[in-house]
Amino acid sequence: MVHRLLWSAAVIDYPKDRYEVQVLDDSNDETIDLINNAIAEIRKQDVNMYAVRRPKRIDFKAGALAYGLNRANGDYIAIFDSDFIIPNVDKPQPNRNDLTLKQRDASHQASESS
C-alpha cells in the first residue's frame, strides 16, 4: 500500500521543481526498507521525495506533522494518511486539487507582479 501511495504523490500534475513530498515515517519495522526503496525508485524520476524520521516518537501523529512542517519548504501543504491514494493515479490527468493549486499559484504570481 505504501508503494502505491508514494507513486500517486509522485505523479501529481504539477511542476516537479515546485513541490516536495515528505514521507513522515515513525515505523520501526520492515516498512522502513519498503519506504526507502520506493523513494529511491521515485527520485530517479526527478521527484523531490524524502523520508522524515524523528529521533524520538512523541506526540503521535501530531508530533510527526509538527516535525515535518518545521522542515517543509512549500507554500501549500497537503496531508495524506498511509492508506490514502491520491485520485487519478491510474489515469494521469489533472485532478481538482491540482487545478486549485495551479489557480492559486497563478493568482499569487499575478498579485506579486502588480
Question: What is the pTM (predicted TM-score) of this model?
Answer: 0.73
Alpha-carbon distance of 81 to 5, in angstroms, equals: 9
Position 3 confidence tier, pLDDT thresholds 50, 70, 90:
confident
Query: What is the extent of the structural domain holding 55?
Result: 2-113
Count how many domains the chain has.
1
Q: Is the pLDDT of residue 74 over 90?
A: no
The model's pLDDT over 8-46, given as tens digits with 9 standing for 90+, comes to 889 888 888 888 999 999 999 999 999 999 999 999 999
What confidence score (pLDDT) does residue 96 get?
47
> Span 52-79, mean pLDDT?
92
The model's pLDDT over 85-110, given as tens digits with 9 standing for 90+, comes to 887 645 544 444 554 555 555 555 66
